[in-house]
Amino acid sequence: MLGDAAGRQETRESPPAVDVQGLTKVFGSTLALDAVDLFAGCGEVVALLGPNGAGKTTLLKLLSTALKPSAGGGRILGEDLLTGRDPIRRRIGMISHNHHLYEELTAEENLRFAATMRGIRPDRGRIRKALADVGLATQAAWKVRTYSTGMKRRLVIGKMLLFDPDLLFLDEPHNTLDQAAIALLNGYVASVKARGGSAIVATHNLSRAYDMADRFVLMREGAVARRVEKRDLSMEQLRTLYTRHAENGEEEPRVESLESRV
């Protein structure tokens, strides 16, 4: 295996969003992640696909610097994963099924808090605009406790709009969302991609991943089972590969076909 970055052409202007090798995570005597390489260039969306327990969430937490790797390292947005945690955190956004919102505060108060903590002036106009952009203008003064899941997810996107992250991490973002929220989410990821940003999406929902992503990394039991690019790959083919590698644990073919080269 040549690792994830084989054959990549980087632009000299900006470093790749994700360029990590050998990421390993141990919890006690459990190996959650086993020497995972990952690469994502600018303007790329990479989907991590796998069943529960495959290590997708752990990988996201390592990449977003929420956890420290037991071994391995690399660069996120050009900054060292181990020593550059603060600069990385300035430029990444995490959209996870845990909302990271304070339920007792209103939407507006949540955004103002998030803005202030990031050193952004929480002026009314900016906050209102962010809320309007995600369709929550009229519910701005409601407590988040009263929000539906879709509304909460929109609010999280609103938070992202405040500081425009260059790299998004999404952990099962489509769970229990209504169509409008899904459309907003996909639209937001597309807009990030359009301005050169990147996204790593962890999901077990193949069709959603297929819509969003340029590349798929199939994971199983803490390791990467297969990597595929979207071009020339149909949804059905993806499903077949997923069943073979991620669910049934088939090994990647020894002879490298065009399909497995990334």
What is the binding site for other proteins (CB under 8 A)? 26-31, 34, 61, 64-68, 86-87, 89-90, 92, 94, 96, 98-105, 109, 113, 116-119, 143
Give the C-alpha separation, 8 to 66, whole Å. Answer: 27
Q: Check residue 55 and report its DSSP letter.
A: S
* CB of residue 194 to other proteins, shortest distance in Å: 24
Pick from 10, 56, 3, 6: nearest CA to 198: 10
Query: Among residues 152 and 230, whose Cβ is nearest to other proteins?
Result: 152
Can you give 12-40 as a three-state secondary structure string? CCCCCCEEEEEEEEEECCEEEEEEEEEEE
Nearer to other proteins, 25 or 215 (CB): 25
**Which amino acid, one-letter code, is at 97?**
H
Q: What is the DSSP string of 98-149?
A: S----TTSBHHHHHHHHHHHTT----HHHHHHHHHHTT-GGGTTSBGGG--H
User: At its nearest, how many Å lie between other proteins and the CB of residue 110?
Assistant: 9
Q: Pick the closer one to other proteins by CB: 13 or 86.
A: 86
The nearest distance, CB 113 to other proteins, in angstroms, is 5
How near is the Cβ of 30 to other proteins at its closest, in Å?
8
* Minimum CB distance to other proteins, residue 258 (Å): 30
What is the separation, in whole angstroms, between the first and last Cα of the chain?
10
Q: Which is nearer to other proteins, 26 or 182 (CB)?
A: 26
CB closer to other proteins out of 50 and 230: 50
- Pairing outcome for strands 167-171 and 198-203: parallel
